[in-house]
Chain A
Amino acid sequence: MTQTRFARIGTSAVFTLIGVVFLVAAYSGGGAGAGNLAAGDTPNALPRILLMIWVGLGIVDLFRLSFTSAAEKKGEDDAELPGTAILGVMVLALVLAIAIVFAGYLIPVLIILPLLLYLTGTRTPFAFVLSYLLMGPALWFLFHHLLGIRLPILLSGGLL
């Protein structure tokens, strides 16, 4: 089994598992109210049907991936697998998004943006500084002050 094929089966398994978790929640949540029972209509009726389709098709896909020969799947297996740096980029992006909730937009961006630029391979000082200034303070000024589109702030008054 190739590494990419393993990744495909893994993704399909996780996708199906998430559907199963929601399906269990749909049946253990008590139906979320009665709705119009005469019409067979409850708030959880459609979600349950959709989750069954989700899980059912997920299982079919898992079977398809597991039992189809590697030769037949050759065409699908040409995707490239990620490098380890991309995981760092994703984690940094998530940290940035969470930090914005608590510390406003400007400070987290000023701290995390250089890390993102460095991690993605920007090493030339000129390109680094220019990108940092344009994507950091310049964008903040453009949106928050020029366009009047308010970004999250740490201190009331809009300075930070």
Chain B
Amino acid sequence: MTIDLAFLAEALSPWTLLAIVFGTVLGVVIGALPGLGSVVGLSICLPFTFGMDTVPSLALLLGVYCGSVYGGSISAILINSPGTPQSAATMLDGYPMAERGEAGQALGWATAASVAGGLLSCIVLILAAPQLARFATRFGSVEVFGLILLALTCIAAVSKGSMVKGLAMGAAGLFVALIGTDPVTGAARFTFGIEFLTAGLDLISVVIGLFALSEAFSRLALRRMGAPTVANARVILPALRAWKGRVVNLFRSSLIGCLIGALPGTGAATAAFISYASAKQASPRRDDFGKGEPDGLIAAESANNAVTGSAMIPTLALGIPGDVVTAILLSAMVVHGITPGVRLMTEHLDVVNAIFVVLIIVNIVMLVVAFPIVRAFGRILSVPEPIIMVGVIVFSLIGAITVRGNALDGVVAVLFGMIGYALRIGGFPLAPFVIGLVLGPQFEQNLRRGLLLNEGDILSFPTASWISAVIFTTVALLVIANPLKALMTFGRNRQKQS
């Protein structure tokens, strides 16, 4: 058996390596700045990738993604303000360590655990993605339709706010994806005679508006004029003997991160808190948790970074993104002519292998760039937040305009920025909308094909195969569970009152 190693040349080319370093540095900086997370980072980096080849562009985005997840821990430890939601659990033990003068050690534990968690998830991705893709060849239209429905239900169920709002947003996202020309009959749908809408709304413009612009508007509305500066911070990596008794925690937390990352809609923040709780239960030093215990830091940081690799499993193998970040990565792949899913594993194996190698390199680069970035952190934080947010607005506009070379997409982005801002105030979760928007065309295509194959009988979908039976039963349970929980809470409250 011969193995084609051409992907290594792609993954190790100077342009790819440069993109990895640039993306990782930018990601760590963006992640470290409170309020700017992975989504904003990816949104403002998208325009840079349009003129690049496929692998370097994905390398840049993966660098930003992994870097930003790690970067959040820097501000969590140094200024008690998580740069990203994923780092909220890091704050619990990181900041107390910094308070007692062990900021360097805390950053060292966080860096080492992040890199270890990230690398372990790469291994899981390399082993699991091809197996899942092989299994996914059994999926027909009905199963794919059910899987998309399951992904949307999961995301709606775990989204911040109510499930009702989450499901409504998912339906709205799916609907907006259908605006434009119907691919089967060629009929114009909901274009209201506007020619611009016949091609549909550009996904990236909508995502940039909903996330990057609405985030900038929200941050500007809060009128925060800059974060406190930190002087003389540096990373002190833990010695090998300091790991004694902590390696099991590292592996357990990384595995939790990998498992949770592969589920749609859960994400790094959930993984970090679950592994933090499990580490606390298992640790002999559980009483020190929350007071600056390195085990807490290891659990939170290894888990949230382990999500980065495993979140790519359903994206690459099934073409179904688990969260907004992977949805943006998926749309970037589509821009470069690559459609994730089963065929990706057979037709673009070189790209998949290159992604694996890139993810490993990103984690190693992260270890190297952490030292200078932490030293420069004080200076970076001194840039007033309003200036950064105006920068986000300008970058977002450039990003939206350059995707299709249509200036009207900039207007769409700003309009969706305003809509996103209003929806945030209203407590509507944005993730189900974007996932619906990304999966809308696939959802419709598989539904219509499934209807044709089953003589228009949608009720026969759950019995089409054992896979569809499992999927549709899970969807039904998820949908039923929420009102049941609400009813039980209501009953309990009534009992208490009486």
A41-B447 Cα distance, complex, nearest whole Å: 9
Bound together, the chains give a CA A113 to CA B407 distance in angstroms of 18
* Contact, CB under 8 Å: B387 / A127: yes
A92 vs B114: C-alpha distance in the bound complex, in angstroms? 40
Q: Shortest beta-carbon distance, B405 to chain A, in Å? A: 7
Given contacts A46-B178, A61-B164, A15 and B417 within 8 Å (CB-CB): no
Residue from A38, A57, A79, A100 in contact with B171 in the complex, judged by beta carbons closer than 8 Å: A57
Q: Which residues of B contact A149 (CB under 8 A)?
A: 47-48, 50-51, 402
A131 and B451 contacting across the interface, CB-CB below 8 Å:
no
Within the assembled complex, what's the spacing in Å between the Cα atoms of A61 and B407? 36
Known: A32-B185, A96-B397. 19 other contacts (CB 8 A): A11-B422, A11-B425, A15-B426, A29-B190, A36-B448, A40-B458, A50-B171, A53-B167, A57-B165, A72-B493, A80-B222, A86-B220, A94-B411, A97-B397, A120-B389, A149-B50, A151-B398, A151-B402, A152-B401
Residue in B closest to A5 when the chains form the complex, CB atoms: B427
Docked complex: B390-444 residues within 8 A CB-CB of A: 390-391, 393-395, 397-398, 401-402, 405, 407-408, 410-411, 413-415, 417-418, 421-428, 443-444
Indicate whether A39 sits within 8 Å of B456 (C-beta atoms), given known contacts A50-B171, A149-B50, A150-B405.
yes
Residues from chain A with Cβ under 8 Å of B410 in the complex: 97, 100-101
Q: How far does the Cβ of B160 sit from chain A's closest Cβ, in whole Å?
A: 10
Nearest Cβ on chain B to A93's Cβ, whole angstroms: 5
B407 and A152 contact, CB distance less than 8 A? yes
Contact B182 A8 (CB under 8 A): no
B171–A53 CB distance below 8 A: yes
Chain B residues, Cβ within 8 Å of A105: 398, 401
Known contacts: A47-B175, A53-B168. The answer to whether A131 contacts B401 by CB under 8 A is no
Q: List 20 A-B contacts (CB under 8 A).
A: A15-B168, A15-B423, A22-B175, A32-B185, A33-B186, A36-B452, A38-B455, A39-B451, A43-B184, A54-B175, A76-B161, A86-B217, A97-B407, A113-B390, A113-B394, A117-B387, A143-B398, A147-B51, A149-B47, A149-B51
Is A82 positioned at the interface, with any CB of B under 8 Å from its CB? yes
Chain B nearest Cβ from A142, distance in angstroms: 9
* Most chain B CB neighbours (cut-off 10 Å) among A26, A54, A135: A54
**Pairwise interchain contact A82-B384, C-beta atoms closer than 8 A:** no
B402 touches A143 (CB 8 A): yes
Taking CB atoms, residues of chain A closer than 8 Å to B391 are 131, 135
* Residue numbers in B under 8 Å from A93 (CB-CB): 213, 393, 397, 414, 417
Contact A90 to B188, CB < 8 A, known contacts A41-B456, A53-B168: no
A89 contact set on B, CB distance < 8 A: 217, 220, 393
User: Are B221 and A80 neighbours in the complex by a CB distance under 8 Å?
Assistant: yes
The answer to the question of A158 belonging to the interface, with a C-beta cut-off of 8 Å to chain B, is: no
CA–CA, A14 and B456, complex, Å: 34
B174 within 8 A of A: yes
Q: With A90-B217, A117-B390, A149-B402 given, is the CB distance from A97 to B168 under 8 Å? A: no
Q: Which of B221, B402, B424 has the most CB of A within 10 A?
A: B221
Across the interface, do A51 and B408 meet the contact criterion of CB distance under 8 Å?
no
Nearest CB on B from A111, distance (A): 13
**Are B184 and A35 in touch, CB under 8 angstroms?**
yes
With the chains together, A33 CA to B422 CA distance in Å? 35
Which of A47, A58, A98 contacts B190 (CB under 8 A)?
A47
Confirm or deny: A64 has a beta carbon within 8 angstroms of a beta carbon on chain B.
yes
> Is B365's beta carbon under 8 Å from chain A?
no
Assess whether B411 is in contact with A97, with CB atoms less than 8 Å apart: yes
Query: Are A32 and B426 in contact (CB-based, < 8 A)?
Result: no
Interface of A is mostly: helix
Asked if A14 meets B422 with Cβ closer than 8 Å, knowing A40-B456, A98-B411, A127-B384, the reply is: yes
Given contacts A50-B175, A101-B407, A143-B398, whether A39 and B448 have CB atoms under 8 Å apart is yes
The answer on a CB contact under 8 Å between B185 and A120 is no
Residue in chain A with minimal CB distance to B444: A46
In the bound complex, residues from chain A placing their C-beta under 8 Å from that of B408 are: 101
Q: Is A157 an interface residue (CB 8 A)?
A: no
Residues of B within 8 A of A29 (CB): 189-190
Report if B386 contacts A (CB, 8 A).
yes
Inter-subunit contact A34/B190 (CB<8 Å): no
In the A-B complex, list the 3 residue pairs whose CB atoms are closest, starting with the nearest: A11-B426, A57-B168, A33-B187
Interface residues of B in 304-350 (CB under 8 A from A): none
Residues on B with beta carbons closer than 8 Å to the beta carbon of A151? 398, 401-402
A126 → chain B closest CB, angstroms: 11
A35 to B423, CA, bound (A): 35
Q: Which of A38, A58, A61, A120 contacts B220 (CB 8 A)?
A: A120
Q: Would A143 and B47 be within 8 Å (CB), given that A54-B168, A60-B164, A151-B401 are in contact?
A: yes
Does A139 have its Cβ within 8 Å of any Cβ on chain B? yes
Task: Please tell me if the beta carbons of A135 and B390 are within 8 angstroms of each other in the complex.
Answer: yes
Report B-chain residues with C-beta under 8 Å of the C-beta of A46: 178, 443-444, 447-448
Question: Does A116 reach chain B (CB closer than 8 Å)?
Answer: yes
CB-CB under 8 A from A61, the residues of chain B are: 162, 164-165, 168
Contact present for B423 and A11 (CB under 8 Å): yes
Say whether B167 contacts A57, CB under 8 Å. Answer: yes
**Chain A neighbourhood of B422, CB < 8 A:** 11, 14
- On chain A, the residues within 8 Å of B407 by CB distance are 97, 100-101, 152
CB of B387 within 8 A of CB of A131, answer: yes
Give the contacting residue for B394; candidates A83, A139, A147; CB below 8 A: A139
